[in-house]
Structure 1
Amino acid sequence: MTFDIRRRLAAEALGTAILVATVVGSGIMADKLSDDVAISLLGNTLATGAILVVLITILGPISAHFNPVVSLVAAIKRDITLSEAAAYALVQIVGGIAGTWIAHAMFDLPIFQVSETVRTGMPQWTAEAVAAFGLLFTILGGVRFRPDSVAWLVGLYITAAYWATSSTSFANPAVAIARSLTNTFSGIRPLDLPGFVIAETVGALLAAALASWLFAGNRPTFSPKEVV
């Protein structure tokens, strides 16, 4: 089943809005309920991983990138056109910003904020490149070998990457931009955005390059049952 561009863009905007509202909202809730940063991060992590499974499952048949670098790689693979990828990125950013504002409204906070949380430096940029690399590699491998499991693979990957990367795995320029507009648990200073976006793009492109080679081979000629 194919869906027209309007429905695909609506799915991208809605999905990214819900994703960011969950990321920001769960961060606010976790921070309110606990003074322990580790516990707050755990709450933020579980909510994010869970909502990704839900969103990709229900919106995946329409369109479920929710991430400009995912759309960029899709355009490189010619699954969508470059103009469609640009439109996807635009609605993802708009949807993400809306998600931040919705989270603020739910918790009775000022709608318009700017983050003051410093997230910069080579370790953070390296972490974001690794996070985006892993995310795209997971998506491309899942689509290649286990398309019915992509939602769970992505949700589980992000759950793990939250704790495995020093940046807590943004891995998404649209989400990073949206998070720059909240001065809460999940925020990032606008000044730090360029480093994150560049690192995420580099990581995604490296993953696409490796996956195009690694996943393109022929299937094995033997059955797993034949291996002792």
Structure 2
Amino acid sequence: MDLRRRLVTEALGCGLVVVALEGSHHIAEHLGASATEGRLFMSLSCGAVLACLLWVLRPLGAHLNPALTFADALGDRTPWREVPLYALAQLGGSLLGRLIAHGMSHEPLLLTARPPSADGARFLTEMVATFGLLVVVRGCVRTRPSATPLAIAAYVAATVWFTDSRSLANPALVLARAASAHVGVMSPLEVESFVAAQLLGAALAVFLFRWLLGSTPRPAPPSAPLET
């Protein structure tokens, strides 16, 4: 697939994930759900949508996450010259998804000014969440490729429960969440530290997993049946 189609795939996938995230958040608030119920709404919605998107788009090479693109470049799977283009497509799709979700919910589209609240604990949480995501991705691609979409979706759904940002270990969603009109979601001034934490977690996972499985041979592809 040529680069333009791959970039459109990235934008489409990221946009739909953000629509699911923001839409479920709005529905939870509209129904008067508690904080716990709201997180349940978001985790189930995002997990299901992401699983579907990965099953459909993963064969096309979709990353749907700048951290995964960065990790692929570190592993020499994606040319570094394409990384900025991937990131722009992912960020653009996420922002467009945020605008669409807020339009669907009749919510204001403008940024809401909020003071930053990022601290060391939240930085560590984002780093660990992204580190775990990359371990899941690398492990599945290496040993169980067919399980990759479901494993990623399950892990990402779980991150809703142990990260304050609820950005799904995804720098593109950090930007989209920071641009949200929801008060208290995330300050635009936190974007830099959150993205840095996620990219650091991705890099650590790449290097650690490369060392752990460096001498482990890849599973041999199934042999073709003999013709008779």
Give TM-score, length-normalised by structure 2: 0.89
Distance 1:33 1:191 in 2: 30
Within the candidate set 71, 77, 80, 1:73 is matched to 71
How many Å separate the matches in 2 of 1:47 and 1:118? 27
* Alpha-carbon spacing, 1:61–1:96, altered in 2? closer, same or farther (3 Å): same
For residue 153 of structure 1, what is the aligned residue in structure 2? Answer: 151
For residues 17-36 of structure 1, what are the structure 2 equivalents within 5 Å? 17-36=15-34
Number of aligned residues: 218
Decide whether aligned partners of structure 1 residues 93 and 166 sit closer, same or farther in structure 2, where only a CA change above 3 A counts. closer
Provide the TM-score with structure 1 as the length reference. 0.89
After TM superposition, the runs of 4+ consecutive aligned structure 1 residues lying more than 4 A away are none
The more displaced of 89-98 and 160-169 is: 160-169
> How far does residue 63 in structure 1 lie from its aligned partner after superposition?
2.6
Give the aligned partner of residue 42 of structure 1.
Answer: 40
Q: Distance in 1 between the 2:42 and 2:184 partners?
A: 9
* Mapping of residues 170-189 of structure 1, within 5 Å: 170-184=168-182, 187-189=185-187
Secondary structure of 1:61's aligned partner: helix
Residue 226 (structure 1) aligns with: none
Contact 1:117 1:183 in 2 (8 A): no
* RMSD between aligned residues: 1.9
Task: Describe the SS at the equivalent of 1:44.
Answer: helix
Q: How does 1:56-95 map to 2 (within 5 A)?
A: 56-95=54-93
For residues 109 and 163 of structure 1, the distance between their equivalents in structure 2, rounded to whole angstroms, comes to 25
Q: Which residue of 2 aligns with 1:142?
A: 140
User: Mind listing any 5+ residue stretches in structure 1 that lack a counterpart?
Assistant: 220-228
- Alignment equivalent of 2:51, drawn from 50, 53, 73: 53
Q: Distance in 2 between matches of 1:151 and 1:73?
A: 17
- Identical positions, percent: 35
Partner in structure 2 of residue 224 of structure 1: none
Task: Provide the residue aligned with 1:102 in structure 2.
Answer: 100
> Does the 8 A contact of 2:44 with 2:157 survive in 1?
yes
Aligned partner letter, 1:92: Q
